[in-house]
Structure 1
Amino acid sequence: MQTIRIDNPEAEKFIASRYGSDTKSLVDDFIKFIKLSLDDGYPAISKEEAKSRVAKSLQTVRAEL
């Protein structure tokens, strides 16, 4: 197990008031948060596909100028 240090009084106060000594619920909610944060709902694309999309967008913008 690792300890996460939170250097934010407002966050510490919220966690203490919401969870108290209920570390299981805190960990469960933290894991849910991390999972949701890692998945933005969009499919992953390759670096090459990202470059291609940016280049295409730039061409579109330049053509409109």
Structure 2
Amino acid sequence: MLQPQIVNNTGRQMNIEVQEATDGRGQRQARYIFSDLVGDGLTTPGGRGRRAMRDFYNVNPAGISR
């Protein structure tokens, strides 16, 4: 299986998980999961990830109920 070269230009440590699956034709497919980066993007105040969740999916972070 051909392994892609992943270049990290973020200056941060990344944890990459690789999952192999077989499609309907029996071909192996690799899935690369960058969950740390997605998590950081969703929790950054004013970040693009948080804005996308709000604008496209109408999901807002829960505030502190006082």
| TM-score when normalising by structure 1 | 0.20
Determine which structure has more spread, i.e. the larger CA radius of gyration. 1
Q: Identify the structure with bigger relative contact order (alpha carbons < 8 Å, sequence gap 6+).
A: 2
Relative to the length of structure 2, the TM-score reads: 0.20
